[in-house]
Amino acid sequence: MWNSRSSQNKPAAPRLPDGLRIYAIGDIHGCADLLEALLLQIDLDYTLYPSRRPIVVFLGDYIDRGPASREVLDLLLKCERTKKETIFLKGNHDTFVHRFLSEPAVLDEWRLCGGLETLVSYGLKPSINPDVVEQKRLAKELAKSIPKRHLQFFESLGLSFNCGDFLFVHAGIRPGVPIRKQMEEDLLWIREEFLCCEQQFEKFVGIILHFDAADVEHHHRRFSTGMVPAAY
């Protein structure tokens, strides 16, 4: 959580517009139970410490690995109807559904990233290593079973959210490239080049590092936060 109150006496610290509070959540990975618990925590925090404009920023990777990808999508769609503003960004895992539906052979890659668990959450029964024939059959079955509103959700995902001195993305940004010229592939997939870079960036960049992080970590105008255990 980032709140404009916390930096009032520290001029050098990054700032948010007055009255705004941001809750950032990333790498849910099919863990609907943990997401539901975290959303309740946010509701409690907002009740105890109201702000004029609370924003919940989801940093992508909603599906795969965990057992309840479909339920996660249903929970996220319900969030759109709450009083708090919601921002949904795209993660690299969130690209696989549409890719698989148009090119079933993508399952060779997707299953290594937890895609089979996502298929199971939609009622499909894939084998451990589907062959070409099964891949095509599974793609047809998913097209019939996945709700249209879920497909629309994936299509609507943004790549970044800029607010005050902060930039939120899923993976990071390419060093030496202006924010406005960043490529989608880097925003979704970059890792070592971003994490090991010592240069100062235009904004404080908020990312998810694919591990469990109980607290915010700051380093060279980067900060990270996590939600789900590394086991997922």
Query: Is a pLDDT exceeding 80 seen at residue 186?
Result: yes
More confident residue, 228 or 196: 196
- In angstroms, the CA 165 to CA 29 distance is 28
| 6 assigned to some structural domain | no
- In angstroms, the CA 131 to CA 129 distance is 7
What SS3 state is found at 74? helix
Which pLDDT tens digit goes with each residue over 121-165? 999 999 999 999 999 999 999 999 999 999 999 999 999 998 888
| 177 assigned to some structural domain | yes
- Alpha-carbon distances, residue 136 vs 107, 111, 151 (angstroms): 10, 14, 18
| 34 assigned to some structural domain | yes
User: Mean pLDDT across the stretch 206-217?
Assistant: 45
- Give the confidence band of 202 by pLDDT, cuts at 50, 70, 90: low
Query: Is a pLDDT exceeding 70 seen at residue 197?
Result: no
| 100 assigned to some structural domain | yes
- In angstroms, the CA 155 to CA 214 distance is 30
Tell me which amino acid residue 26 is: G
pLDDT at 139: 98
pLDDT at 33: 97
| 4 assigned to some structural domain | no
Query: Is a pLDDT exceeding 50 seen at residue 15?
Result: yes
| 47 assigned to some structural domain | yes
Report the domain count for the chain.
1
pLDDT at 87: 96
Which pLDDT tens digit goes with each residue over 80-126? 777 789 999 999 999 999 999 999 999 999 999 999 999 999 999 99
CATH number of the domain that residue 79 is part of: 3.60.21.10
- The DSSP output letter for 89 is B
- Give the confidence band of 213 by pLDDT, cuts at 50, 70, 90: very low
Place of tokens 């789900």: 228
Contact residues for 228 (Cβ-Cβ < 8 A; gap 6+): 27, 28, 29, 31, 34, 66, 212
| 14 assigned to some structural domain | no
What SS3 state is found at 21? strand
pLDDT at 227: 37
- The structure tokens listed for 117 are 């668990």
Query: Is a pLDDT exceeding 60 seen at residue 206?
Result: no
Helices 32-48/69-79 angle, 10° precision: 20
The residue segments making up the domain with residue 158 are: 19-224
Looking only at the bridges linking them, the beta strands covering 204-207 and 166-168 are parallel
User: Mean pLDDT across the stretch 65-81?
Assistant: 94
Give the dihedral sign, CA 148/152/155/160. Answer: negative
On whether the CB atoms of residues 126 and 120 are closer than 8 A, the answer is: yes
- Give the confidence band of 200 by pLDDT, cuts at 50, 70, 90: low
| 218 assigned to some structural domain | yes
What phi and psi, each to the nearest 5 degrees, are found at residue 7?
-115, 15
More confident residue, 117 or 226: 117
Q: If you count DSSP H runs as helices and E runs as strands, how many of each does the chain have, helices first?
A: 9, 9
- Give the confidence band of 196 by pLDDT, cuts at 50, 70, 90: low
User: Mean pLDDT across the stretch 41-50?
Assistant: 92
